[in-house]
Amino acid sequence: MEAELKSLRIDRAKKTSREGSNWATKWILMGIALFLLAGAGRYVYGLLNKTTEVEVVRAKAVTAGSAAAQGSVSLNATGYIIAAHKIQLATKVPGKVAWIGVEKGDRVKQGQVLVRLEDEEYRAQVQQGRGQLQNLEARLEEAINGSRPEEVARAVADVEQTRADLANAKIQLDRMKKLVDAKVEAVQKLEDAQSKYDGLVARLNSLQKTADLVRIGTRKEQIDQIRGQIVQAKGSLTYYETQAANTVITAPVTGTILERNVEKGEFVTTGFVGDKGAKGYVVSLADLNDLKVELDINQNDFAKLRMGTKAAVTTDAFPDRKYQGLIDEISPEANRQKATVQVKVKVMNPDEYLRPDMNATVAFLADEKPAAAAVESAGKPVVFVPASAIKDGAVFLIVDGKASRRAVKTGPSGPQGVRVESGLIGGEDIINNPPAELKDGDNVRAKA
């Protein structure tokens, strides 16, 4: 019994040690919990007191008269810059490229030689045409001057000689007739004498006519015929010379080379052009001081525009550069598939920053108000803010370091920005490009 009672006795030293260990664990856990709670509180405090850096602009207030002078935008449209007159310079004659003297981007002057073709064949045709013309001119001179005195004298001498021969033949014929009648000679000899006489008569008549023609000279009709041949020869020579001159290709206008399409040794033609065959043109060029913006305007907005409407042109590449423009071309027909009308805006002050096929945005300016209306509204302040500051019909103001949302009523936009009809008086500090998560009452500060 005593041994069993001893085994049931509680050891108070061990109990005290175990309780101390439990209390230490509890204190550690409580410390960790307090640390996590402090971190969470600090995080929540940071969220509740977060300050967002924002871009700040000031609402601009101008007098109504000054605002009207700037003009308001009636329509915005996007399109592409094009060269008003782009030229694909082709050859007038087929041939092989012997020399090309320009590269892409080169500036050229009107009349400057760009390409030369091989011209040996064309020069040979020119030489042949000149020889033919000289031959005809000599024939004409001969026909006009007539026969020389020596030629006339020779013709007359031939006539006299034949006449003498004819007289002698007549004597021989008469003698032969007497001998034949006396049956001294055969009839055959009489026939030979008669034939010789008849031949000399014919020859005398021919020579006489020839001598008459030599004295008279060439007929007028023959001279006119030779003159006509000379005119024809001159036309052929001019054609050959033009063909030879066309082997030298020059710039028709002052401009910039947009594309070089051929290399030395390639063949160019004026006829059919295949994918891997001869080239149809040698270079393309344009005057980059004469640029336009090509736009497709929706038919619903077309009534806002007319010839001569002024516009402001900007490009995506250089948005800070603005160019003046005006409508100088409106297509006479609409595009049925797109339901648009093509409009071209002439850029009045182009510079080296503009390039064909650049994206461009055009803000068409509304017509200016009549002078009476401008005087009536003079003195009334008009407020302008950037379009990027307006979000869902409202702007965010900075008031005592907090964002304050204020609804505004907007009007047309202009070079100074969007006009605010109501909601602002001008001079307010406004958040430009407000973040999507920005809310009314958030802490904000201006970017340095």
Output the six-digit token pair for 206.
Answer: 């021919």
What pLDDT, on the 0 to 100 scale, is given for residue 255?
Answer: 92
φ/ψ of 167, rounded to 5, equals -65, -40
Burial of 369 (0-12, 13-18, 19+ CB in 10 A): middle
167-193 burial: b if 16+ Cβ within 10 Å, else e = eebeebbeebeeebeeeebeeeebeeb
Euclidean distance between CA atoms 404 and 430, whole angstroms: 9
Strands 443-446, 51-58: pairing is parallel
- Give the residue from 229, 245, 268 showing the smallest Cα distance to 111: 245
Angstrom distance (rounded) from CA 89 to CA 442: 64
Do the beta carbons of residue 91 and residue 271 sit within 8 Å?
no
Residue where the block lists tokens 């030689």: 113
pLDDT at site 40: 66
Token pair 């008031």 in the structure block, residue: 399
Tell how far CA 223 is from the center of its chain: 54
What type of residue is 83? A
pLDDT value for 49: 57
pLDDT reported for residue 25: 74
- Give the neighbor-by-neighbor strand order of the sheet with 409-414: 60-63, 381-385, 417-422, 409-414
Nearest Cα to 238, choosing from 119, 96, 137, 133?
A: 133
Residues 6+ positions from 358 with CB-CB distance below 8 Å: 80, 81, 315, 316, 317
pTM: 0.53
CB 328 within 8 A of CB 293: no
282 DSSP assignment: S
* Closest CA relative to residue 444, chosen from 56, 41, 45: 56
Calculate the alpha carbon distances from 196 to 203, 205, 344 in Å.
11, 15, 97
Local mean pLDDT, 10-residue blocks, the chain (448 residues): 60 55 73 74 58 84 51 83 91 93 93 95 95 91 73 80 87 86 83 88 86 71 88 94 95 93 89 65 92 92 90 90 93 91 94 91 76 46 83 87 88 74 84 87 83
What pLDDT score was predicted for residue 366?
Answer: 80
How many alpha carbons fall within 13 Å on the CB side of residue 89? 30
Looking at residue 363, its amino acid is A
Q: What is the Cα 128 distance to its own chain's centre?
A: 41
Q: What is the pLDDT of residue 378?
A: 46
The number of CA neighbours under 13 Å toward the Cβ of 241 is 8
The C-alpha atoms of residue 176 and residue 282 are separated, in whole angstroms, by 90
Per-residue pLDDT at 127 = 96
User: 187-216 and 149-181 are packed helices; what angle lies between their axes, rounded to 10 degrees?
Assistant: 160
Q: Which amino acid is at 58?
A: R
d(CA 181, CA 69): 135
Write the single-letter amino acid at 56: V
Q: Which residues pair with 314 in a beta bridge?
A: 361
**3-state SS class at 433:** coil
b/e code 27-45 from CB counts within 10 Å (16+ = b): eeeeeeeeeeeeeeeeeee
